[in-house]
Amino acid sequence: MKIKNNMKNIINKWGLFLMVLIISGCSTSEEQTVARFTTISMQDEFNRDGAPNSSIWTYDIGQGQDGWGNGELQYYTDRPSIVTVQNGYLIITAEEENYEGASYTSARLLTKGLFDQKYGRFEARMRLPYGQGMWPAFWMLGSNIDEVSWPQCG
């Protein structure tokens, strides 16, 4: 019985010590500085109808057979019926059609070779579809993706 009480006392003292240690580490007295991002290094408001701005955007064409795909069912294309800018929006359409041996077409746009930034704040406003088989994404991949692959590059 005495050993049991001694063990309880030891556990209670260690518990109290750990609680004090945790609480003392939660001080709110330090003032934090929040970085302000005021310099815009790249933006596209999609305010010119037609094809996306070629000084900012390029395309991956195909099904990723050279290593960039995930075995998707679509063929990525740059056709105007699939990807266009209209009324201030970039519109990427997924279509069910037989094209280049695939059952669907869509587009994969990237800034590779045109824009590169290691740190900063990145924003996008998007309306994304939902449903089985849909996988819309806004990826942040490093410019060294061809050398180190994903996920090490991003």
Q: Determine the pLDDT at residue 24.
A: 66
Sequence-distant (6+) residues with CB within 8 A of 100 are 62, 63, 75
For residue 76, give the H/E element and its range: strand 74-76
Sketch out the chain's domains with CATH numbers: 41-154 (2.60.120.200)
The stretch 9-15 carries a mean pLDDT of: 67
pLDDT(60) > 70: yes
Q: For the whole model, what pTM was predicted?
A: 0.71
Cβ atoms within 10 Å, residue 48: 11
- β-pair type (109-110, 58-59): antiparallel
Percent of the chain at pLDDT > 90 equals 40
Residue with the larger pLDDT of the pair 1 and 89: 89
pLDDT(11) > 80: no
pLDDT(9) > 70: no
Q: Determine the pLDDT at residue 110.
A: 92
